[in-house]
């Protein structure tokens, strides 16, 4: 398991890490679905993302691929952002997606508990369960590649300066 990095990531690095396109990322930020830790303030400034932001972006991509509604995804994102536990606990959780005829319900299962994020549990049919560890694994693997690319770029810059 990778240690949670304290690094700050740029939008282009987020795209490489989470497998989102830049266009998708930019659109989701402008519509408020994704909230970077530091948003760009004017021309020439950069958005900054931290580890938990990357996990949130990857979770959104996972839920979108499953056909979960934006209403449900927004609620999941607010709960993930507000989650006060450490990432080790969340990493072992599951995103549980249930459907009934009226609307979807999305929950996070920690251990044996399922916390409903949208409504009280009722009769529904289980549609999908996503392991959060898979979300974290994609993010961790992407970070390793970005960190290696940063190191190569710094080495090239150092050689060029010498």
Q: What pLDDT does residue 1 have?
A: 43
Q: What pLDDT does residue 44 have?
A: 63
Residue 2 lies inside a defined structural domain of this protein: no
Q: What pLDDT does residue 143 have?
A: 93
Do 57 and 29 touch, CB atoms closer than 8 A? Answer: no
Q: What pLDDT does residue 85 have?
A: 67
Mean pLDDT across the stretch 133-141?
91
Residue 113 lies inside a defined structural domain of this protein: yes
pTM: 0.77
Residue 3 lies inside a defined structural domain of this protein: no
Cα end-to-end span (Å), the chain: 37
Q: DSSP for 64-78?
A: HHTT--HHHHHHHHH
Backbone φ, ψ for residue 145 (5° rounding): -70, -40
Task: Kindly report, residue by residue over 29-56, the tens digit of the pLDDT.
Answer: 888 888 888 876 667 668 889 998 898 8
Tokens of 153: 């770029």
Task: Kindly report, residue by residue over 60-115, the tens digit of the pLDDT.
Answer: 888 888 777 787 788 777 777 777 666 777 787 777 776 655 666 666 776 666 55
Residue 57 lies inside a defined structural domain of this protein: yes
Four-residue CA torsion sign, 152, 44, 11, 86: positive
User: Helix crossing, 51-65 with 22-30: angle to 10°?
Assistant: 100
Q: What pLDDT does residue 3 have?
A: 46
What CATH number did the domain enclosing 48 receive?
Answer: 1.10.1660.10
Residue 150 lies inside a defined structural domain of this protein: yes
| Domain count for the chain | 1
Higher confidence at residue 85 or residue 135?
135
Residue 1 lies inside a defined structural domain of this protein: no
Residue 102 lies inside a defined structural domain of this protein: yes
Residue 5 lies inside a defined structural domain of this protein: no
Query: Strands of 125-131's sheet, edge to edge?
Result: 113-116, 104-110, 94-99, 125-131
Tokens of 110: 């920690």
| Residue recorded with tokens 């990857």 | 58
Residue 21: which domain range? Answer: 11-161
């Amino acid at each position: 398991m990778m240690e949670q990095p304290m690094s700050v990531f740029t939008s282009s690095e987020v795209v490489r890490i989470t497998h989102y396109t830049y266009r998708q990322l930019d659109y989701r930020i402008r519509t408020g679905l994704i909230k970077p830790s530091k948003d760009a303030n004017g021309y020439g400034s950069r958005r900054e993302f931290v580890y938990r932001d990357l996990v949130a972006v990857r979770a959104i991509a996972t839920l979108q691929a499953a056909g979960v509604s934006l209403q449900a995804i927004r609620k999941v994102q607010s709960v993930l952002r507000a989650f006060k536990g450490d990432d080790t606990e969340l990493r072992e959780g599951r995103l549980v997606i249930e459907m009934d005829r009226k609307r979807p319900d999305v929950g996070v299962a920690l251990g044996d508990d399922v916390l409903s994020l949208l409504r009280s549990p009722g009769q529904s049919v289980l549609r999908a369960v996503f392991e959060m560890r898979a979300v974290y694994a994609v993010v961790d693997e992407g970070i390793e590649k970005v960190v290696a690319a940063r190191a190569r770029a710094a080495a090239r810059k150092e050689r060029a300066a010498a």
